[in-house]
Every structure is written in C-alpha cells, then in structure tokens.
Amino acid sequence: MSSDSYPQLNNRPVAKKVRDIYKQRIDQFINEGPYMPFNLPAVMDDARVSDEQHVRLEVYSVPDLARPPFKEAINGKYRPARKGEAFGPSWSTHWFRINLRVPQEDVWLDNNMLEFHWENHNEGCVYNTDGLPLQGLTGDDERPVWPVPLEWKDGEWHTFYIEASCNGMFGNGDRDQIQPPDPNRWFTLSNADLVAPNPDAHALYLDFGIIADAARELDQDSWESNVALKVCNDVMNAFDPDDKSTLKRCREITKSYLGDAIDGPEVYESGQRTFVYAIGHCHIDTAWLWPYAETRRKTARSWASQVALIRKYPEHRFACSQAQQYKWLKAEYPSLFAEIKKEVKNGKFNFIGGSWVENDTNMPAGEALVRQMLLGQRFFESNFGERSVTYWLPDTFGYSPQVPQVCRGAGMSRFLTQKLSWNNINLFPNSTFNWIALDGSQVLCHMPPANTYTSRVEFSEVSNSLKNHKNLADNQTGLLVFGIGDGGGGPTAPMLEKLRRYRGLSDNVGLLPRVKMGHTADEYFDELERTTNNGKDLVTWMGELYFELHRGTYTTQSDVKKGNRRSEILLHDVEFIASLASLTNRNYKYPKERITDLWEIVCLNQFHDVLPGSGIEMVYDDAKILYAEVAEKGAQLFKEAAAALGLSETSGSGSDPVAVNTLPWPREELIALSNVNSKIAVQSAADNKQYAVMKSTSNGLLKPVQGVRVNAASSVSVTQVADTVFVLENPKLKVTIKDGVISSLYDKSEEREVLPEGTGSNQFVIFDDKPLYFQAWDTEVYSLDKRCYLSGATVSIGETGPLRASVIVEQKISDKSWLKSTIALDGVISATEAITSSSFVDITTEVEWHENHKFLKVEFPAEVHSDVASYETQFGLIKRPTHFNTSWDLAKFEVCCHKWADLSEATYGVTIMNDSKYGFATHGNIQRLSLLRSPKAPDGHADMGHHIMKYAILPHSGPINSDIVRASYNYNYPLRTYYAAKNAATSIKDILSAVTVEGDTNIIVSNLKRGEDDVDVGLGDFPLKNEKSIILRIYDSIGGRTKATLSVTLPVLKACYTNLLEDEKDEINFTTARIDGKTCTKIPISVRPFEVSTVKIVLA
Ligand SMILES: [Zn+2]
C-alpha cells in the first residue's frame, strides 16, 4: 500500500552531502577563525562591562616575593589598577581588591547567571571578605570565570579579593615548561569583566562540541556518526547570529541527538549498564616546577573550586590524595578545611591514598614506606573518622615489589596508577589485575585505560576507557580520572557538563561507552570485587611494576638521595634510643611530637618529584634545608636520649669511650676517636684522632678493646711495587692498583681471583647522557653506546696500617671536574664476626662535578656468571636479569637498589655496598654503580659541585646471604661515640640490649619504636591507651620462612602481632625465665619469605 501523501512529481533536486566538506564545515561553528564573529562565539554574552562605574580594581603588590595570608594581605597598601597592566616578576604575589556594581538594565536583572571573567595568565584565587577561598581563577583559559552571587544584582557595590600568583599552573619554565624557570616573567591582566552570559548559547556550545566529536570520531561507517554530522549541519543552518531566539531551536536539534535529560544529573538515572565511571581528581604535585610554598596555595585554590562545583553539581565526586596537603590546608585555611570536612561527610569530597604524599616507591626504605601510611592514615582517621582503602599513585615512577604488602598492612586492598602507560619499550599488558608482592600479598590494581589521571573529558578518552582496556574478558568497566592536574586545578564546570552530554549520547544514540558520575573510586573498586569473584577471576602480576622510563631518577640530585638515606637512618636511631630511654628513665619523656615532625619532613621529601630529582632548583634548595633540619634536630634528640641513659658527649675522669650500636646484632669495628689512651689506640687517624677497635658481644653498646695486639697475621699493609702499581694486602684480600684502577682483587681464603682477566675495578666511566626529552628524569638506552673510561690517574699512598691502609687515586674528569678516590683495606680485627671491614675494599670517592649531560658511573667487573643479579629493596631483595634476552630484560638496563646489589653464582659472589646511592646496573659480569648525572632541566644546576660518596666491594663465598645483608646495615648505620662512666657502662649496655633476637640470621628487626598511642607518648589525636609498649618491625631479608625468638629483659605483660598501623592482631604466647639473675621473656616469632611483620610488646 502506497501513501497518498508521497508526491508524484519532483522537480526539487536534493544532493547527497559530500561528507568531507560538511565535516570540515562544522569546525567553523565554535572554533576561532575568520567566521567567528558570525558564529556561536559571537553570541555567548548578552552584556559585558568593565568600566569604572561597574568594575573597580585595586592592587597590593606584595614585596620580596612573600606570600602573606589573607588577614595580612587585606591590610596591604592598595592602589588603583587597570586592565592591560603587567604584574611580575616570577613568583611575586599581587592581591586585587575588586568592587563590582551590577548594571540595573533588564539584560542583567533578568539573567539567572552572572559571571566575573578574569584573565591574568597566572594562578589566582577568589576570596570573600571573610577570607574564605571561593574558587581558583586560573589563567590561559583554564578556569577563567567566577560565578557572581545573584544577590549582587541589588545595585550596590560589592567587594571580593583575588590573590594572583605570578606563575603559571606549570611554574615559570622559560619557553618550555620543563626548562629552568625564567626569574623575570610578567603577566598582563587582559580581562576583568562583569558578564551577563547567554545560557542557551553556552549550553549549545557544549552540545555542539560533543556532537561534532561524534561525527569525527565514531566509526565513520556508522549511522551514529553520519547522523551526528547531519545534526551539526542542521544546527548551523538554523542558527542566526542576529536572532538569539534561534538558539532555542538549535538546542532542540542537538537534544534530538543527545536526549532531553542532559541539563541535569537525572541523565545518569536511566538505569542502563555503565561502562565508564568518571571520578573527579586534581593531581597537585607537592613540589615540582614550583616550590612547596606555592603548593600550599594550589591546594586552597584547587579544592575551593571543587567545593563550589560539588554544591552546583550533585553528581560530582572528587577524589583527592596526600595527607600532607590536607594538613597544610587545615593549618592555613581553616574555614575552607571546615567546608571540605562537610563534603567529606556528605561522601562527595573523597580523601584517598592513605599515604602522607604521593611518594616515590623505589627509593624510600621499608620503614619510610610504612611511615607514609602511618602518618597518612592517622591524619585521615583523626580528621575524618575513617581510613583510606585505596593507595593512589597515578604519577609515581615505578612501583616496588613490596607495595602490595605495605598496602595490606596499612588497611588498603586497592591500588591505582597509570604511569606504566608511559613505558617506552614494552606495552604493559593489563588494566585490571591482582598485583602480588614479594611475600605473596595482593592488591586489586586498576590502571585507568584512558591512560591519564588528568583527563579533560575528551571524547576519545571516554571511548578509550573501554577500547584500551586490556582485560575486557574479566572486567568491562574503566575508571576515568578527570580534572586539570599536575599543577592542581581539578574538574571544571564544562567537564561536568560534557559528561552529562556523553551519557545522554550513549543512552540516546549509543556506540560511546556509557559513562556515569556519582560513584566514588572506592565504590568502583567495590563493584570490581563483586563482579570478579573477589578478584579470583582476574589475572595476576607478580613483583615489581618496573617503569620503563625515568631511569635517571635513581641518581639525579645526589644530595637529596643522601639526605634521604641519612635521615631515615638517623630517625631509626633516635626512635631506638628514645624508646629504651623512655622506658627506663622516669624523667625522660619520649619526644613523640618532635620525632613525628621529622618523619613528616622525610616523607614529604619522598614526594615523586622531589626525591627522584625531577623538580626545579628551588625545590632542592628547600629540600636541603629540610634535611639539614632533620640532621640537626635528630642529632639533638639522640643526644638527649643518650644523656638520659647516662651517656655524655664529653670525656670526664673515670669515663670510657663507648659507641652506641642501634642495630640488633653485635658489631666490631675500627673507629677514629679523640682523646684515647695508648692501651686502646691502634693507629693514628686524621684530625688528631686515634683508631681504636670497638667491640660488643651483644647489641647495644660497643666498648674499646684494650691492648689490641696487631701482628703481621692480622694487619694490613700497603706497598708500591712498581712505578704505578700499589698493593693493599690483609690476611683475606690482596688488592692490586695499577694506573689508578684495581687490576687484581685476590681472595686468599677462596684462592680465587675476583676480576676477569684484563679488566679493572673501581673503574670510572663517563657516559654521554642526552635523553630524548625529560633530562632530569631519563637516561636513555643509547647512552650505553657512547662512553669512555677515565684514565691518567695520579696515585699515592694514604694510610699505612697496621689496621687501615689506603691508596689515593686522583683523576681529572675535565678542565673543571676531578675526582679523588680513596681505596682502603682494613686489617683483621675480629676472629668471630663473619664479615668485618677486613672483608671488603672500602672506597670513598670525592668528586668536584661541573659537567653537561654526562653520567658518571663506576664499574666492578667480576669473574661471576649468573643470569640474575639481586638488589636490596624494601624488606627484602629483588632479582633482575643480567642479560638482554627479551625487550623486557633490556628495558631494565638501569635499576634501583638500596644498600647493596649482588652478583652471585651458587658458590661465590660479589656484593657492592653503598652509603647513599640508588642507581645500579648489572650487565653480564659487570656491576655498575651510578654516581652523578648532569641534566640541565628543570634544575639548571642539578648535581653541580662537591660530592663525597662511599661504596665497597665485598667478595664472598656462597650466594647472597644474611651476613651480607647485615654487613650492608653496618656499612650504613654509624656507630655514635659517647663517654660512659666506668661503673655505668654495664647498665647502659643492658638497657640498649633489652631486646635481642635469637634464631635464623635472615630475620631482621629493622625498627624499634614506642606505640603511637601509649599513655606517656600519644599526642591526643587518638584516645590514649593505658599502656606502655614497644613496636618492633621484623622481616625476612633473604626469602626464607623463618623462625626466631625475641629475648626481652624489660617486664613483659603481653605480646601480639599488629598490622603496620599498630592495630592488634593475634596474641603471642611467651615464656619468662630467670637468666643470669635477670628476668628474661622469650617471644617466639615466625615470618613467611619476605614478610614484614609488626610485633607489639606491652610492658608492665
Ligand atoms: Zn605528579
């Protein structure tokens, strides 16, 4: 049956549209270009004023680059300001006082939107007259609009403030953002207008942009794309710039494609299956291309914006990490913190991450990772009543194999990152998976498939959230983490508007994965657990998430690396001695607050652009001051605790020198002391000191060995055997130094030459180091191809024995740079210890370094063949290939180690210990320690200047073992020398050795501290517990199921395991006996391979 209405005749030709031409046409409608005045941008505003009758600007330019708080700033000296003025220089602050009077014409009074448009090309923040930050106003179109309160239509003048900071969101980089900052950048105020916007035009602008993307990006053969193109052209045909009533008709056309629900949050309530969960986020690097001081303001302006958006968009959920930033905000912006707290309670502002900062996970020691969590979770719980369950490190440069275990111990079972999408060799194969630690602990890991944590909610990012997902068989959902980031910012209103339209498009047309807002990241993971059988259906990834980029970050900014290592160790020592002093001296109170302050500094500097070395010079100026503060205050804390035990820094009559050993095993070492008598002095040392042999039979306190007899059988000698050939020799090793390098290292007890024939050890080598772009971050694989050995050494004899001898090698690196390497060997001072300083070649290298794009490393070849090398990592070791079989093996051409790296066969090996380095490589039979780099961006002076570093070559029989682990601890943990009254030394020693470990030697008590909330310790952020306790961190260092017994001479009431946050778990049964007249408690413990466990001992 045919229709009567279908005409019989047709004389009206209709063309099939030439797709490409019509597709190009749609760019005209909302983009800049010659037709802009005749298209949508021309009608966005109904009215705009900036004259003196309506907008009055005054400014207070703060002197001396200071950043005063609101209260101070409003009392500054204000002067009139105007559009077109430039403000500077870089890093200066300008407070604007702005008075507005809304015109009283209908176009203003009838409008239900009122905006202030601001463009100063830098970062700004709006404050009300009470000093509450209302929102950020960030230049270059990032966040240029502040919605003016509609009450201000009353015809009166109204006042507000804008704090403008003379830096862009990404600092003040000279031309390129990662170049060192330009110190004299000026910012022109180009816009300060009061605007009555046209709401239909703004809505149409967003509609059109998305439909145009659908036309361009959806499958070109699909009806969805073809209809989108038609819709766009229909809108353009309907639009008349001279008749704003056509805007309503245009919106009817766009809604035919996007659906009718897009103007409100109801759009998400269609009940249809969701594939993409959008979560607002704002990545604020705690310091990077700006200093810490600017970050404090970035948090205020970024988070104020989010509170405002949460109140305007009920579906908005904002996830935000880093307890440190919350703490700054709480102290400096208490009224904003109160507003945030309300939205935390409403479930809309979601704190996430559990750690103090978004830390590096390669270099921090195990205990520092724990403290990141302890500090972070305690802050969140004490301020918001809850802990985080998701560790959030979207931007950190690779992930240690112990992260899952530390997460679980800190109450977190989920992990989010996406950085591995930056790998420049291998594509990481998973998006949603179980990530498994060295000890077998797992976390549920999601890597947002859009490959970004700063999504601007582009069309392609929504579609990639499924398209790029690598585990679609197991999980059909992706998290879309959106909001301007790195320099702060976060989601904007247009982003939230776009998301509503994407959802409308998916429901109404399809093809684009359906997106939803209104879920938190935690709810996303909850859903993931539910739909994957608690993760059992997901694939697994075991061990390190090695980041195949940014390999230079193990080495760049050498002083910061050293500051980190030193500080971690100092705080270990302080907690050890302060704990024991506080439990045995009534008059000494555990300085919890002062210790916590220092841990906060150490954890802060572990931020992922500080410790890795990728920040600007200002960041390192700050970091070095902070490390100096830790060193000074930590030393003071140690001294006070030592004094409480009866240890004095000065010698007195009747006192003996002693050394405090904070490690849980006996030590025997050669130490340089002042004012020692001839009975204990064994050799003269520098600075009028004398070497003495200090020894302990248990942990705690070392005493000088009286009347050491140094005979030929135990001494070390140094001889010049030829023009440029020197020999260091002790009963264990014979070291030949020829032309400045070690040409032979002979192990006498094993009758084995350690070096391959024709090679040299402690051989310095300079690599050309010009990575593709990220200078401070990257060292690229081709750097290995262009290298040269340093030669031309001047060699001389240093110390001459009998217990320490050395050879000094001096070499010129260039006209400006040189190094001096002291190769030392000790005599045998112990018959009992497995490894002492006589077992290794101890090298101190001093470098004056002024190079460009060069990488200094030192090589140690060894006659050892193995396909894997071992490297110390947090609470254990990691094995990595020594070859380049596959691209995955090659990718690890530069890796991270802690105190040691080892290359071993089953029967023999060589360990390289270090005191402050993290970069290492083992290629075949060459071990190579990375010493200094010289990138010029973003810090133009990174690593220039003077450096002193220590490392040692330790040949050993058998494979890597616990004696080596202990030796590397000894190498890093200094013995601190004091004086003790003769009659007091024994009781001091008893206190310091109140906790000892018996059993397998691979078990290590790595930290001893007081319980966080003990009655005499807690700070009141949590209810005090009516108890006194010590907390012990214990781990297996080699990878074997281990049993041991803790021996405690303090009176024990209770012993139990806790998690890392010190929540009590299983109780441990113990026994008490009288031994040598003392009551001693024996607490049996056991750990799985590479397990870190925490034992709490409650004392009577
Ligand atoms: Zn970052």
Work out whether strand 717-722 and strand 700-704 pair parallel, antiparallel, or are unpaired.
unpaired
Q: Which amino acid is at 396?
A: T
Q: What is the mean pLDDT of residues 460-467?
A: 97
Q: How remote is the CA of residue 397 from the centroid of ligand 1, in Å?
A: 9
Q: What is the mean pLDDT of residues 454-459?
A: 98
Q: Per-residue DSSP letters for 230-259? A: HHHHHHHHH--TT-TTHHHHHHHHHHHHH-
Closest C-alpha among 77, 418, 143 to residue 298? 143
Q: How remote is the CA of residue 185 from the centroid of ligand 1, in Å?
A: 24
Q: How remote is the CA of residue 550 from the centroid of ligand 1, in Å?
A: 13
Burial of 706 (0-12, 13-18, 19+ CB in 10 A): exposed
Q: How remote is the CA of residue 814 from the centroid of ligand 1, in Å?
A: 36
Q: What is the mean pLDDT of residues 479-491?
A: 97
Predicted confidence (pLDDT) per residue in 214-257, tens digit: 999 999 999 999 999 999 999 999 999 999 999 999 999 999 99
Q: How remote is the CA of residue 324 from the centroid of ligand 1, in Å?
A: 15
Predicted confidence (pLDDT) per residue in 415-448, tens digit: 999 999 999 999 999 999 999 999 999 999 999 9
Predicted confidence (pLDDT) per residue in 531-589, tens digit: 999 999 999 999 999 999 999 999 999 999 999 999 999 999 999 999 999 999 999 99
- CA dist 150 to 81, 92, 114, 162, 1022, Å? 25, 33, 7, 19, 44
Q: How remote is the CA of residue 998 from the centroid of ligand 1, in Å?
A: 44
Q: How remote is the CA of residue 607 from the centroid of ligand 1, in Å?
A: 9
Q: What residues are paired with 873 via a beta bridge?
A: 876
174 is catalytic: no
Q: How remote is the CA of residue 421 from the centroid of ligand 1, in Å?
A: 14
Q: What local confidence, expressed as pLDDT, does residue 4 receive?
A: 84
Q: What residues are paired with 872 via a beta bridge?
A: 877
Question: How far apart are alpha carbons 921 and 871 in whole angstroms?
Answer: 10
pLDDT band, residue 711 (cuts 50/70/90): confident
Q: How remote is the CA of residue 349 from the centroid of ligand 1, in Å?
A: 20
Q: What residues are paired with 223 via a beta bridge?
A: none
Q: Is the separation of the CB atoms in 913 and 840 below 8 Å?
A: yes
CB atoms within 10 A of CB 182: 14
Q: Per-residue DSSP letters for 2-43? A: --TTS-S------PPP-HHHHHHHTHHHHS-STTGGGSGGGG
Q: How remote is the CA of residue 564 from the centroid of ligand 1, in Å?
A: 19
Q: How remote is the CA of residue 605 from the centroid of ligand 1, in Å?
A: 13
In terms of residues, how long is the chain?
A: 1100
**Which residues are CB-neighbours of 299 under 8 A, at least 6 positions away?**
284, 325, 326, 328, 329, 488
Q: How remote is the CA of residue 358 from the centroid of ligand 1, in Å?
A: 8
Q: What is the mean pLDDT of residues 185-207?
A: 98
Strand order in the sheet with 1052-1058: 1003-1010, 1028-1036, 1092-1099, 1052-1058, 1064-1067
Q: What would the 3-class secondary structure string for 558-575 be?
A: HHHHHHHHHHHHHHHHHH
* pTM score: 0.97
Question: How far apart are alpha carbons 831 and 811 in whole angstroms?
Answer: 37
Q: Per-residue DSSP letters for 262-292? A: TTSGGGGGS-PPP-EEEEEE--B-SSSSS-H
Closest C-alpha among 767, 1019, 732, 1036 to residue 875? 1036
Predicted confidence (pLDDT) per residue in 1075-1086, tens digit: 878 889 999 999
Residue at token pair 């040299």: 760
Q: What local confidence, expressed as pLDDT, does residue 1 receive?
A: 59
What does the radius of gyration of the chain's CA atoms come to, in whole angstroms? Answer: 33
Residue 184 CA, distance from chain mean position: 30
Q: How remote is the CA of residue 395 from the centroid of ligand 1, in Å?
A: 5
User: Would the pLDDT of 833 be above 90?
Assistant: no
Residue 971 φ/ψ region, left for φ over 0, alpha for ψ in the -120 to 50 degree band, beta for the rest: alpha
Question: How far apart are alpha carbons 766 and 771 in whole angstroms?
Answer: 15
Q: What local confidence, expressed as pLDDT, does residue 936 receive?
A: 98
Q: What is the mean pLDDT of residues 73-89?
A: 98
Q: How remote is the CA of residue 568 from the centroid of ligand 1, in Å?
A: 23
Q: What is the mean pLDDT of residues 909-919?
A: 98
Closest C-alpha among 593, 598, 607, 67 to residue 323? 607
Q: What local confidence, expressed as pLDDT, does residue 119 receive?
A: 97
Q: What is the mean pLDDT of the chain?
A: 96
Q: Which one from 395, 769, 826, 1036 is the annotated catalytic residue?
A: 395
Secondary structure of residue 1049 in the 3-state scheme: coil
Q: How remote is the CA of residue 301 from the centroid of ligand 1, in Å?
A: 18
- Give the DSSP letter of residue 154: G
Q: How remote is the CA of residue 287 from the centroid of ligand 1, in Å?
A: 9
Q: Is the separation of the CB atoms in 86 and 188 below 8 Å?
A: yes
Longest dimension (CA), the chain: 125
Question: How far apart are alpha carbons 630 and 624 in whole angstroms?
Answer: 10
Q: What is the mean pLDDT of residues 347-369?
A: 98
- CA dist 696 to 647, 659, 705, 830, 989, Å? 16, 9, 9, 11, 9
Q: How remote is the CA of residue 283 from the centroid of ligand 1, in Å?
A: 7
Q: How remote is the CA of residue 1044 from the centroid of ligand 1, in Å?
A: 42
Residue at token pair 């781990």: 1035
Buried b (16+ CB within 10 A) or exposed e, 291-318: bbbbbbbbbbbbbbbbbbbbeebebbbb
Q: How remote is the CA of residue 286 from the centroid of ligand 1, in Å?
A: 8
Residue 39 CA, distance from chain mean position: 47
Q: Is the separation of the CB atoms in 553 and 614 below 8 Å?
A: yes
Measured in degrees and rounded to the nearest 5, phi and psi for residue 326 equal -65, -40
Measured in degrees and rounded to the nearest 5, phi and psi for residue 257 equal -100, -40
User: Would the pLDDT of 1028 be above 80?
Assistant: yes
Q: How remote is the CA of residue 203 from the centroid of ligand 1, in Å?
A: 33
Q: How remote is the CA of residue 393 from the centroid of ligand 1, in Å?
A: 9
Q: How remote is the CA of residue 1024 from the centroid of ligand 1, in Å?
A: 36
pLDDT band, residue 828 (cuts 50/70/90): confident
pLDDT band, residue 2 (cuts 50/70/90): low
Q: What local confidence, expressed as pLDDT, does residue 832 receive?
A: 73
Q: Per-residue DSSP letters for 158-183? A: EEEEEEEESSBTTBTBSSSTTSPBPT
Work out whether strand 478-482 and strand 276-281 pair parallel, antiparallel, or are unpaired.
parallel
Closest C-alpha among 459, 536, 549 to residue 208? 459
For CA atoms 1020, 1025, 1028, 1030, give the dihedral sign: negative
Q: How remote is the CA of residue 486 from the centroid of ligand 1, in Å?
A: 5
Residue at token pair 């399809």: 510
Q: How remote is the CA of residue 988 from the centroid of ligand 1, in Å?
A: 47
Q: How remote is the CA of residue 608 from the centroid of ligand 1, in Å?
A: 6
- The answer to whether the bond into 802 is cis (omega within 30° of 0) is yes
Residue 839 CA, distance from chain mean position: 36
The angle, 0 to 180 degrees and rounded to 10, between the axes of the packed helices 223-238 and 246-258 is: 170
